[in-house]
Structure 1
Amino acid sequence: MKSEGTSDTLASVQALIRRHCPRKSTQTPIADLTLYRCDNTTDPLLVVYEPRIYLILQGAKTVTIHKRSFHYDENHYLVATVDLPLSGHITRATPEAPYLAACIAFDPEEISEIIVRSGIQPDLNAPLAASLGLSRVTPDLLTLIHRLLRALDEGEHGFMAPLIKQELLYRVLLGDQGHVLHEIADQKSDASRINRALAHMRAHFTEDTSPLRLPELAGMGQSTFYRKFQQITGLSPVQYRKRLRLQEARRLMLHEDRLAADAGFAVGYESPSHFTRDYKLIYGLPPHQDVARIREIGVARYREMNEDVWI
C-alpha cells in the first residue's frame, strides 16, 4: 500500500477520519461504521471484539488472544467473526500523528446474501476456521473505505453507503479472510454453532454453566465442542469466561467503587485468592494495586486516555 496513488488515497482517508471523528470514538450516520482516533498509546485492556472488520488508517495496535498476538497498522486489516475477549493496546500514536481507525460491523445474513448473489465459493485449501484473521490492505479495499467516508461529505450515505459496504464485504470475501466469512455465514458451520454458545456465555458469565449446556447449545458432542471451541476462539470455555469476569470486575472496582473481594464475588469468583491470581495474570498487578495506580492518575483521565477509544 505504498505506491503514489495509494499514498494519496491513504492521506485523504486520514484527513476524512480526522474531520468526521472529533472524539475518541464516533458512530457515524452510516449504519455500522464507527471511527476512532487517539493521540496517545494505551495500556493493554481486556475488550470484547465483536464480528467486525477493523482497519487502522494511521498508527498501530496489538491485540492478544491467549498466547497469540496480532500486530497491525495501516498496511493491514483484521477480521473478527465471533465475540472474542482479548487484550488490546495502541502501540503507535502521537498528537501530531494520532491513531486513526475504522470499524465496519456486519452480520451473517449480510455475508450469506452476498455469497448467494455472487456465487463466491470458499477456498478449499484455506486453513482451518479461526475467529480472528489479519491480512494486508489492498488498493481496492482502501479505495472503498475512501468512497465510504466521502459519502459522509457528499450527503449520499443513505443511498450509496449500503452499496459500498456490500462491495467492501465482497472484496473481503475474495481475499485471504474469505474462508473465515464463509464459515460465519453458514448457520450449520462450526463457527456459527460455537457462536451460539458464546452468546450464552456473554449473557451468563457470572454463572457456573453446566458442562453439558454449551455443547447442547452448539449442537455438538462434548469432545467435539471443546476441540472446536479451542480451535475457533484460541481459548477453553473456562478461559473465555474468566476474561469476561475479569473485565466486568475491573469495571466494578473503577466505576462503581467496589472492593476487590466484592467485585470478585459479584462476577462469580468464590475465592478472593483465586480472583487475585487470575487478575494479576491478565493485568500484571493485583487488583488493589492496579486500582490504586489508576486512581492516582484519575479514573476519568485514565478512561479518557485508555478506554474511550474502545467504546
Structure 2
Amino acid sequence: MSTTARTLISDADLRRRHGKLVYRLGFAGMAILFVLIFVFPLYWMFVSAVKTPVELAQPTPTLIPHEWHFETFLVAWQKLEIGHFMLNTALYAVGGWLIQLTVDVAAAYALSKLRPLFGNVILAAMLASLMLPAAALLVPAYLTVANVPIIGVNLLNTPWALWLPAAANAFNVYILKRFFDQIPNDLLDSASIDGAGRFRMLWNIVLPLSRPVLAVVSIFAIIASWKDFLWPLLVLQDPQSQTISVALSRLSFASYVTQNEMFAGLALASIPLIVVFLIFQRSILSGLSAGALKG
C-alpha cells in the first residue's frame, strides 16, 4: 500500500506551468525572511561596534558605517575588562557543566535502569517542575543559597550559588532517561553475570554508548550557563565575580563607556556561543534525534 506525504502544495500544483516557479520563489522568500529576522540583530550589533559615537547618535541610522573603526574592539576589551569577565563566565560554565552532568546522569540512570520504587512518580514530579515559570522560583532559590538549610552557609558571591541550583535539570534528565531506555537490558545483564557492578556498568557500558546525547546535554548546559543573566545578577553582587552578561549590564550605565564600545563588548561576549553553535550544530541535531525513537 503506497502512501503519499501531505504537503502544503500538492504534486499536481507543482506540475502546473507556474507551480514550481511560485513554490521556489515562495520558499526562497521565506528563507530570506527568516535569515533577516535572526541574523540582522547580530549584524547590527557588530556594525554598531565599528561606528563612531557621532554616527551612532544620528537620528537616521546607517546600515553601512561611513568609517570602519575596528580598533573599538581592542579598546572595549581593555576598558571593559572583557577577558576577566569571560574567564569568570568560563569557570562558572565548566563547573556547572560538570556538576549538572554528574547529577543528571545519575538521576537518569537510576530512573531508567535501577527502577526505584515510585520512579514514575518521581519522573512526573521532575517534569511537572518544567511547567513552573522560572520567575516563580527566584525567591525560594535565593533564600536557599543565602542561608543553606541545616548547615546555614551563605553561598552568595561564590560559584556554588550558580552551580547548585542548576545541578538538577528536569529536561536533561528526561532526555538522558529516554536514551538510556534504548540500551538493551540484556547487555547489562551479561555484564552483571561477569561480575560488573552498577557503577561499572554505567561507566563502561552506558556512558560510552551515550556519547551523542551526552554531547547535546553538555552543549545545552554550557550555553545556558553562559547566557544566563537574571540569576547571576541576583547572587553575584561583587563586581569582580560577575559574569560577562551581568558585568556588561552594569558597565552600560558607566559614563566613561561609549555606545560603540558597549556594542563591541556585546559582540565579543557573543562570539564564543556563536562559535560553539557553528561547530556543534550537527551534534545537537543528531543527539536529539537519537533519543526520539524507540528501538
Q: What TM-score range do you get, normalising by the shorter chain?
A: under 0.3
The answer to which structure has the higher strand fraction is 1
- Whose radius of gyration is greater, 1 or 2? 2
The answer to which structure has the higher helix fraction is 2
